[in-house]
Amino acid sequence: MQGVDLAFKEACRMIGECYLMLAEGDEGVSRCRVTAWLERVQEEAIDETGEPNVSLQTAIERLKGW
């Protein structure tokens, strides 16, 4: 259970970082845009490690489910 909690906390941190990054550039911040950005990062993670990052996957799923 602790691993799930850590993955969720990391997912929340990633979502927050995305929103802050996009907001700093005076660009519109939307859930769809953040989701797309995280999906691109997930693709890079899979290319590097051969498997999805659990925290990224959690963040993507949460954003798509809201």
Q: Which residue has the higher pLDDT, 18 or 52?
A: 52
Q: Is the pLDDT of residue 4 over 80?
A: no
Q: What is the pTM of this model?
A: 0.71
Q: Which domain holds residue 13?
A: 2-65
Between the alpha carbon of residue 8 and those of residues 1, 19, 28, 58, 59, the distances in Å are 11, 17, 25, 7, 7
pLDDT at 43: 92
Residue-wise pLDDT for 24-38, tens only, equals 766 677 788 888 888
Interatomic CA distance for residues 51 and 34, integer angstroms: 21
Structural domains of the chain, count: 1
Interatomic CA distance for residues 1 and 53, integer angstroms: 17
